Every structure is written in structure tokens, then in C-alpha cells.
Structure 1
Amino acid sequence: MAANHQNWGAESLWQDLEPLLPGLSIEVLARADSTNSVLLERVRSEQHSAGERGQERAGERGGFGRRAHDMQPCLLVAEHQTAGRGRMGRIWHAEAGASLTFSLALPLALADWAGLSLAVGCAMAEALEPAPARPPRLQLKWPNDLWLDGRKLGGILIETVSAGDQRIAVIGVGLNIRPQKPGNESQFMSGYASLDELDTTLTAPEVLRRVARPLILAVTGFGQGGFGAWQQRYEARDLLRGRPLMAAGIEGVGAGVTVQGELLMDVQGQRQTVSAGEVSVRLQVSEPPAC
């Protein structure tokens, strides 16, 4: 593990989380291009190495070769993420101390993945604002953004990769903790929010401690009830409901989400659904460009 400059309390965090995810490892890197990319590449490298050694030898080593722990759950934190990725290839800038960027990789067998990013966002919002006002300050912008007081706070990126008969899910999270230092205004503009507006005492390690357990419980429990178990909780923080918006060139008004996690829109008296991955949603109000 590379040297890091914040006290992450990785050992105590591991002791708290490992019973939920047996085999879990926690790593903190001082610098990485993208925590999602690092974990995805590890899985792909494992498969490639196992293939070169042959199926028989790979089977003797637990299926995927020289570093079997790469197939086990891993929570990877980067203090400084230089090339973070958001949805649809957007860049997420993350400066050390000013942001929390981490990814959770774990084998995940789900019959239906629809709405997982919405459930993850809801779990984290509830962890950061457990007793919200009405309306809550922390809201969710479909399909994968967290907003604070009407400005973007962070985002979620879920990617998957096949690993033999398993599928590894990599859930990446980026959250603004405080504005970046002077000189980086182009990377963190006034249109974005940071968690110090919600609680001035929060640090990146403290935020990780708050959200890690709810995140794991949300992901590991998702297969039991799917998004249906989260629908009402999500709608309590739905930023788009009742607001004018545009999706795929269609103008309408947000009307909630379906039990499958699809966006509902009222368009000229008709209700339409929009599936994740098909469109980029933009509010028809002043909104900063995607970070």
C-alpha cells in the first residue's frame, strides 16, 4: 500500500466491514488514475494470467491464478485521483483532501441489476443526512448523481466484468468534501456543492466510515428485493420529480421512477419511461456542466 497522508483508520474499518464481506481487503493509495480502472484491470489481468497457465493449473489455484485475492472483495481508496471517470466517459477531478474517491469490487450475482445505482445513491444519502429536513438537502438526480442544496455533490459509476462463471461489480463513488484549493477553480466551480456545507467537521476518512457499511449492505442485499425495496426511499429524495427536464431531446416533467428504476416523464399528457444508459438527463434550469 502506498504511503498516504490522512488517517484512514483502515484496520478498524476492515474489522467493521469484513464480517459483511468475508475476504474483504482495504487499500489506500496516495495516487491513482481511477479506482474503478485499477480494480477492473486487476480482474482482467487475473483472467489473462489464468488462461496462460491453463485451466487445470488455474483450477488448482482457486480458478484465477497468481493473485486469487483479486477475485475477492476489495475497497480501494485513492487520496488523489487523476483521471476519474463518470457516466458516459465524463471526467471527475479529485484533489487530495478535497474529495473522497473510492471503489468497491465484489462478486455479485443478480438476476436483475436495474436500479442498483439508485439504491446505492439512496443508501449513501441516508448515511450522510440521516434525519433530513423536508425537502431534504441531499437529493438524488437520476440515474447516479447526489446533489446538495440544488448543486451537484458527487456521483456513482457501476461497471461489471465477467470472471469465469462470476461477474465482478465495481462500484465507484466520488464525493466533494470541500472546495479545491485556489488555482483549481476550473476543476471545481461554484456550481458544485461540497459536504462541508452540510457538516464542517467532515473529512474524507470520516465520510468513508459513514457510507461504507450502508453501501455494502445495500449492494449485498439488493438481490433480495431489487429496486422495489428502495423505490419509496428514493422518491423521498428525488430531485427530478415535478421539475421540467429534458431526456434524449424530449422535454417533459419528472414523474418519479418505476419499480425497475426507470425514469418517468410526463410528456404532453402522456407518461413515458427512460431507461438508464440510454440518455443524459439535463434539468431545464441553470446547472453546471458535468464534472
Structure 2
Amino acid sequence: MQRILSLLSDSKFHSGEALGGALGVTRAAVWKKLKKLEAIGIPVHSVKGRGYRLPTPLELLSHEALLEAGLDSSIPVSIVFETASTNGDMKQHINDGVSLPLMIAAERQTQGRGRRGRHWASGVVKNITMSFAWRFENGPSVVEGLSLAVGVAVARTIKKQGIPNPGLKWPNDVQIDGQKVCGILLEMVADEDRCDVIIGIGLNVAMEADVMSSVDQPWTDLASRLSKVPSRNQILADLTNELVAVCHAFEDGHGMKHYQSLWQAHDVLHNQAVAVSSLSQQRTGIAKGIDESGALLIEAEDGVISRLHGGEVSVRRR
């Protein structure tokens, strides 16, 4: 699938014979591959006497393009066309003893998950679906607040693309003007001596509306906010480099002490009246930012400040 997409990615016409020659298959086999592309949501135009073309050019992810975009060359990279879940793939790599850090990116993810087990829609060859894993040798205590720092990394990355006002909603939503543009899901494999953290990120770059038809919250993408579709390779390279910096900071013991003020500069809930609910309780109050551990600070009517940590907690403006 990736090979035929690469051939068609320029959006120019290619004859079935030329495609078959390049792929080493028959014209009938080419036709079957094109039908598979259409089945996963990639339309292919066919004109008799001219051949096949995609309606618009596509940028495929590649290790070479990532390096050209400035990716830290010391970070191993795995790019797959299709997978159930990049976080699932990363878990398997860790179980197999692969060394970390490692970044995995997929052009299509079929069983992606968001927080609370929700499905994460990712489209095909249009967005960023990736997992980044890091081994913290000092154990799980050093990663407190890491998901919030990852939000800062995403905000810094999309700012470089020309988005002036990314917002962060506790605990780990990235927004543009109140609409979600990115989801973050962290998973840990820990013991007493070390902690492997998998950082899963889904970023809407050029999302198609039909892919998001079942999403029940406001959403947006980068392409609709910019004058042109940004380079996915550039975004992925910048984001990976930002994640490396985040992990180094936490590994060195700086953690949220360094990222607290950076996160609060993008806090969309600051001084807002909010309702907070979890499986065990519900409360209302005024959001007052985060503390050095990344806990959300809620001021009650009597002025008492309570601290909420991560978990199955949702926050909505009242």
C-alpha cells in the first residue's frame, strides 16, 4: 500500500502499465491495490487513456524526510503504514527488549484509544499518529506531571507552524480557540528501579469531516487554521525533538518545576468556574492553575484550595 501511494503521491496521472512496472505486478493487481486504497478512505481518480491519480498531493512520512526536517538523529524511528495502535506496538517492542528511546509513527491507525478508553479517529496519511517511549532509570517517581509537559511540547510545536494561540486544558487536551486539536495518552511499564513511559499523541493536521462524524466534542485541525497544509514530517520531527527535551528535563529531576509556568501560560481554564467530576466525587470551584506536581488547583466558595491529580477526571466550564 505504501509503495503505490508513494508513486501516486504527486497527484499526477500514472498509467496502470507504469504502476505495474514500478511495482512488479500485473495491471489487474494494480487495480486491486487501488480498490484497497479507496476502501480505507483514499479516493483515486481514474480517466480512460490517462490512468490514475490522487485528487491532491500527499506527503508520506519517511525517516529521510524527518532527518532533513531536523529530527534528532540519535532517536531510532519506525514508520509503519497501518497498525492497530502505535502504543500497542510500542508495548510489544518493550516486551521484546528493544532499547529506548524509540519513536513509532503510523499513516493509519485502526484501533487508537484516547482517555477513558474512547476511540481516537486518525484518518489516513493526513495527520500525526505516533508513540514515543523513554526509559526513566530512577523509577516512576520522577515522571509526575509528565503528561502536562507533553502538552507544552505539542503547543510549542504547533506554534512553530504559525498557530498563535494553542490552549491547554487540564489534564492533557490541546486546543485551538476551544476546539480540540490533539489528544495525549501516557502509559507506563514500571518497576522499582525504572519506568518505561509510552507517550501516545494524535494530532489533527488535515482531518476530514467524515472521519470525525462520531466525535462528540468540538474539534479542529492545523490545515483549517493556516494558509496551507503544513508538512507532517516537519511537525513530527519538531514534536519528537520537543519530547526528547521534556524527557531529559524529567530525567534530570526538573520535572514540572520547569514546565509549570510554561503550561500555565496556555491554561484555558485559569480563573474559570468549573465543574469537576470523577468516579468518586463531584465538586465545583474556580480553576487556579496547577502546582509543581501537575495537580489541578480548585478554589472552593470558602476559599479552600484542593488539589486534583490525574486519573478519570473530566473538567468542563460551567
TM-score, normalised with respect to structure 1: 0.78
| 1:143 corresponds to | 171
| 2:266 corresponds to | 237
State which of 94, 111, 122 in structure 1 corresponds to 2:152: 122
| 1:29 corresponds to | 80
Q: CA deviation at 1:41?
A: 2.2
Query: Which of 1 and 2 has greater Rg?
Result: 2
> CA-to-partner distance for each residue in 1:249-282, whole Å, 9 max, x for gaps?
2111211100110001112132111001152222
Larger % of strand: which? Answer: 1
Q: Tell me, yes or no, if structure 1 residue 103 matches structure 2 residue 142.
A: no
CA–CA separation in structure 2 for the residues paired with 1:130 and 1:80: 25
Q: CA deviation at 1:112?
A: 2.3
State which of 206, 226, 251 in structure 1 corresponds to 2:284: 251
Letter in 2 for 1:147: Q
| 1:270 corresponds to | 304
Contact 1:176 1:193 in 2 (8 A): yes
Q: Tell me, yes or no, if structure 1 residue 175 matches structure 2 residue 175.
A: no
Q: CA deviation at 1:8?
A: 2.2
Identity of aligned residues (%): 29
CA–CA separation in structure 1 for the residues paired with 2:107 and 2:218: 23
Unaligned runs of 5+ in 2: 7-58
| 1:195 corresponds to | 222
Aligned positions, number = 255
Contact 1:74 1:106 in 2 (8 A): yes
- What does 1:214-229 correspond to in 2, within 5 Å? 214-224=242-252, 225-229=254-258
CA–CA separation in structure 2 for the residues paired with 1:97 and 1:175: 12
> CA-to-partner distance for each residue in 1:234-263, whole Å, 9 max, x for gaps?
111001111122212211121110011000
CA–CA separation in structure 2 for the residues paired with 1:102 and 1:168: 16
Say which is worse superposed, 122-131 or 229-238, in terms of deviation.
Answer: 122-131
CA RMSD between the two structures: 2.6
Letter in 1 for 2:177: D
CA–CA separation in structure 1 for the residues paired with 2:299 and 2:191: 41
Q: Give the 3 Å change call, closer, same or farther, for CA 195–93 of structure 1 in structure 2.
A: same
Q: Give the 3 Å change call, closer, same or farther, for CA 184–157 of structure 1 in structure 2.
A: closer
Say which is worse superposed, 1-10 or 261-270, in terms of deviation.
Answer: 1-10
Letter in 2 for 1:241: H
Q: CA deviation at 1:127?
A: 2.2
Unaligned runs of 5+ in 1: 47-63, 65-69, 285-291
Contact 1:153 1:176 in 2 (8 A): yes
TM-score, normalised with respect to structure 2: 0.72
Q: CA deviation at 1:14?
A: 4.8
Bigger RCO (CA 8 Å, 6+ sep): 1
CA–CA separation in structure 1 for the residues paired with 2:105 and 2:149: 21
Where 2:199 maps in the other structure, the secondary structure is: strand
Contact 2:223 2:230 in 1 (8 A): yes
Greater than 6 Å deviation, 4+ residue runs: none
Letter in 2 for 1:191: P
Q: Tell me, yes or no, if structure 1 residue 280 matches structure 2 residue 314.
A: yes
Contact 1:154 1:175 in 2 (8 A): yes
CA–CA separation in structure 2 for the residues paired with 1:27 and 1:78: 9
Q: Tell me, yes or no, if structure 1 residue 153 matches structure 2 residue 161.
A: no
| 2:114 corresponds to | 86
